[in-house]
Amino acid sequence: MAKYLTLDDFKVKNKTVLVRVDFNSEIDPETKKVTSDVRIKAHAETTIKELVEKGAKTVILAHQGRKGDPDYTPLKEHAAILAKILRLPVKYVDDVYGEKAKTAIKALKSGEILVLENVRSFDGETKSGTPEQHAKTELVQNLAPLADLFVNDAFAAAHRGHVSMVGFTAVLPSAAGRIMERELKSLSRALEKPEKPCVYVMGGAKADDSLEISKYVLSNGIADYVVVGGVTSQLFLAAKGVDLGRKNMDFLAKKELTGLIPGIKELMQKYPSNVVVPVDVALDVNGKRKEISVAELPTEYSIFDIGAKTVENYAGLIRKAKSIVVSGPMGVYENKEFNYGTKKVFEAIAGSKAFSLAGGGNTIAAIQEYGLSGKVSYISTAGGALIEFLMGKKLPGVVALETAVKKKAV
């Protein structure tokens, strides 16, 4: 039996389908406008389009930001963006499960779409709990009786055991949406028996995440090589005993990253030939790039990129790889002087015939900037959920789908 049900398992014509998507987008802090429609587009062009074409009454449940945060907004603009992408009318109601929302759901006709208000306007939403616990909440108690099927398409929020992510699966027939399916299939390709050699490229500044992922993929024989860049690589060099110079060490301490050094040291001792670190770096010398070898460290200047020899080493491993996962840039790629490492490593990934998977906000932005989008096998829409998946963690949203019982035929 399949691990979870999908849209292929249900007839949705004239049925009310409650779809949990992840519309959580970048918001301009000044104007409060959505600045990237990537996630809305992904759900629109797959799951939502399919449901509309099959004649379902589609009710959309989603979140944007968290109460108190600058990116916490209503979903009115998201509904308008969805309408524009689909070139179809999309209804919106500024209510999640009250009378207004219920009336709007009951009035839906086959093929119509309704976006409900930001689900996080319901105070209980962000509590973590089991499907059974969450099934007792007002949100589920009010909405579930109006729906025939629950579809969870929000892979990017699947690491949250929140009410709307798991509660409906205890009381409604439940299916994975197309984005959920696509993400799980692609990510599994990089984590469950990936084609070898398998290279994980870990850059960016989230060194704690990179360390956790590296530990998991090396100790489980998933990755053959972990190559590091960005701030992460500075920590790896420091763990190897390289003195980076006061400025760089102070920077790492300020970011509260130096506590990771013992863990990294342990990892490198255990897997000495599988963890690959830079052999040269690019310094910011009064705004200009200057490359030096790691042997020439310490330095009084900031390290802003990996050097050309390191790029060559990494590209060599990437060329031989059959599976590649990349998360995080190799340096301060937003600055032209220091985008060399990121650009060249990402170009090597794009040029490879391997199955390549990329994720994370900065990684996707860099891939788009270099025009490499179509050349990476799979770009995940997820941030935190992708990271937790790659650490081998079970995601509550996925577990709920796997344990959901087909209560009634739809």
What contacts 45, CB < 8 A, 6 or more positions away? 85
Which position among 74, 98, 384, 392 is part of the footprint of ligand 3PG (CB under 6 A)?
384
Could you tell me which stretch among 135-143, 153-161, 201-209, 268-276 binds ligand 3PG (CB under 6 A)?
153-161
Examine residue 360 and tell whether it contacts ligand 3PG (CB under 6 A): no
Nearer to ligand 3PG, 162 or 343 (CB): 162
Nearer to ligand 3PG, 21 or 101 (CB): 21
Number of chain residues interacting with ligand 3PG (CB under 6 A) = 8
Examine residue 209 and tell whether it contacts ligand 3PG (CB under 6 A): no
Nearer to ligand 3PG, 119 or 239 (CB): 119
Judged by DSSP in three states, 156 sits in helix
Examine residue 283 and tell whether it contacts ligand 3PG (CB under 6 A): no
Examine residue 356 and tell whether it contacts ligand 3PG (CB under 6 A): no
Judged by DSSP in three states, 290 sits in strand
Report in angstroms how near the CB of residue 384 gets to ligand 3PG at its nearest: 4
Which position among 156, 207, 231, 242 is part of the footprint of ligand 3PG (CB under 6 A)?
156
Judged by DSSP in three states, 176 sits in strand
Q: Where are the alpha helices (DSSP H) in 226-339?
A: 230-239, 246-254, 261-270, 308-320
Question: 213-222 b/e with 16+ CB inside 10 Å = b?
Answer: bbbbbbeeeb
Confirm if 82 and 44 have CB atoms less than 8 A apart.
Answer: yes
Judged by DSSP in three states, 58 sits in strand
Report in angstroms how near the CB of residue 409 gets to ligand 3PG at its nearest: 32
Q: By Cβ distance, which residue is nearest to ligand 3PG?
A: 24
Nearer to ligand 3PG, 157 or 357 (CB): 157
Examine residue 148 and tell whether it contacts ligand 3PG (CB under 6 A): no
Examine residue 66 and tell whether it contacts ligand 3PG (CB under 6 A): yes
Examine residue 160 and tell whether it contacts ligand 3PG (CB under 6 A): yes
Q: Quick one: tokens of 403?
A: 């344990």
DSSP 8-state symbol, 344: H
Report in angstroms how near the CB of residue 361 gets to ligand 3PG at its nearest: 9
Q: How far apart are CA 104 and CA 91, in angstroms?
A: 9
Confirm if 45 and 6 have CB atoms less than 8 A apart.
Answer: no
Nearer to ligand 3PG, 213 or 239 (CB): 213
Residue of 351, 108, 314 lying closest to 228 (CA atoms): 314
Judged by DSSP in three states, 302 sits in strand
Backbone angles phi, psi at 18, to 5 degrees: -90, 115
Which position among 4, 10, 15, 22 is part of the footprint of ligand 3PG (CB under 6 A)?
22
Q: What are the residues binding ligand 3PG (CB under 6 A)?
A: 22, 24, 66, 156-157, 160, 383-384
